[in-house]
Chains A and B, each alone.
Chain A
Amino acid sequence: MAETKRVETAAEAKQNQEYLQALSELLFQLADDDFILAYRGSEWLGLAPHIEEDVAYSSMSQDIMGHAVMYYEMLEELGLGKADDLAQLRQADAFRNAILVERANGTGGYNDNPHYDWGYAIARNFIYGMFKRVRLEALLSSSYAPLAQVSRKMLTEHRYHMMHWQVWMKQLANSTPEARNRLEAAIAKVWGDAGELSDLGPKAEKIVGFGLIAAEAQLRAEWLKQTQNIFAQIGLDWPGEPGSPAQRGRAGEHTADLDQALATLSEVYRIDPAASW
């Protein structure tokens, strides 16, 4: 990577229009990934396999939502709009999350005969989480100092979350044949989308050029290496190269699942955006 200038504050970032654009693009990827996955997690409330897990998963979804808030607040500081508006009033094509995190939890709706797939919840959280860890570690040396600081804070909490998902992966992989089969089917489904995670979007070259984060290939290689290690420890077959979905979420292309998610999560906010909470 060419030597890059360290940017200490939002005011400083705003002085260079190109830098600001690359930085906001990356921040939207980070924020939207966590926000939409946390929303999917919140849809499990009351539906997780047992009460202890129900509470734990909801609590962690709140944590992840909290990570998204930190990124949206950075965007607000950069003059992109109010954090709440960014989360709840943008159209789907303004979202930069990977397709993996927007997929519905299963068939049916939260209020309409939900048949959610617990194996998919575990596999998605674990595989996304592995990527998130690599990404956060790469962000520790971001040229945008506030982003490096925020990432350091998140890493501790995220490592704890990963302990949780890894325990579940291990349990299901080494439990009954049914649990193992369902987990493997879920991993295959997640894996078909997971290749997009390391995509830094149409502005990737600028994002990397400004030293905001390591290059896609580097993130991807590190993520695959670490994930493969854990698969081996747990005794799971390595699924090989991850696939990519038909749409490119990082470029604002999304599935109908995201429309549904946004319509539901912003329903109350849209009624009266000025209401105080």
Chain B
Amino acid sequence: MRKMSENTKNSRNFDIYEVFSQKTVQSPFVHQFSLLAPNAEVALAMARENFLRREPCFNLWVVKRDDIHALPPEERPFLERLDNKSYRETKGYGDLQSRWRRHREAYEARQKQNQANSGSQAGGM
């Protein structure tokens, strides 16, 4: 079991906590705000009363800001990509239905042709 003092030993230093909330069981967690607290337990106890008094709230996360690692500004430009990857976007599959139709029609036409051919062979026997 975790000792109580481990939960409270940081009480001399307040840290910044980022608070995320979820409106309903199906909603994504959304970042709301930050607050100061000596530990996660206190941060959770403060979160709702401080910023979610009016909105519905199903669940809460608190994360110490120091534990969130973000890209430094000088590395952010590396996130940009060449604009030649439409195949990774869903719109690359926008014509899927018409393609299916074309293939189905070609297939059905072939089937019909085959049946006609085998029918004429049978009649010729």
Contact = CB atoms under 8 A, between A and B. Distances in A.
Nearest to B35: A52
A176 B38 CA distance: 13
Q: Which of B5, B8, B35 has the most CB of A within 10 A?
A: B8
B11 interface: yes
B4 A52 contact: no
B42 A56 contact: no
Given A52-B50, A56-B45, A175 B35 contact: no
B6 to A, nearest CB: 9
Given A175-B8, A175-B11, A59 B46 contact: no
Given A50-B36, A52-B35, A52-B37, A171 B49 contact: no
A164 B45 contact: yes
Interface string B19-43: 0000000000000000111100110
A56 B7 contact: no
Interface string A44-81: 00000011110110011000000000000000000000
Given A50-B36, A175-B11, A170 B4 contact: yes
Most buried by B among A52, A59, A170: A52
A170 B9 CA distance: 12
A149 interface: no
A163 interface: yes
Q: How large, as a class, is the contact surface on chain A?
A: 20 to 34
B41 A167 contact: yes
B53 interface: yes
Nearest to A62: B53
Contacts of A167: 41-42, 45
B16 to A, nearest CB: 11
Nearest to B3: A174
A11 B68 CA distance: 60
Contacts of A114: none
Given A59-B49, A164-B45, A167-B45, A52 B8 contact: no
A171 B46 contact: no
A174 B12 CA distance: 12
A231 to B, nearest CB: 13
A121 to B, nearest CB: 15
A52 B5 contact: no
B40 to A, nearest CB: 11
A234 interface: yes
A235 interface: yes
A170 B12 CA distance: 15
A56 to B, nearest CB: 4
Interface of A: 50-53, 55-56, 59-60, 160, 163-164, 167-168, 170-171, 174-176, 234-235
Interface of B: 4-5, 7-8, 11-12, 14, 35-38, 41-42, 45-46, 48-50, 53
Which 5 residue pairs of A and B lie closest in terms of their CB atoms, listed nearest first? A56-B49, A52-B46, A174-B8, A167-B45, A59-B49
Given A59-B49, A60-B49, 18 more contacts: A50-B36, A52-B35, A52-B37, A52-B46, A53-B46, A55-B49, A56-B45, A56-B49, A59-B53, A163-B45, A167-B45, A168-B45, A170-B4, A170-B7, A170-B8, A170-B41, A174-B8, A175-B11
11 contacts: A56-B46, A59-B50, A59-B53, A60-B49, A164-B49, A171-B41, A174-B4, A174-B5, A174-B8, A176-B11, A235-B4
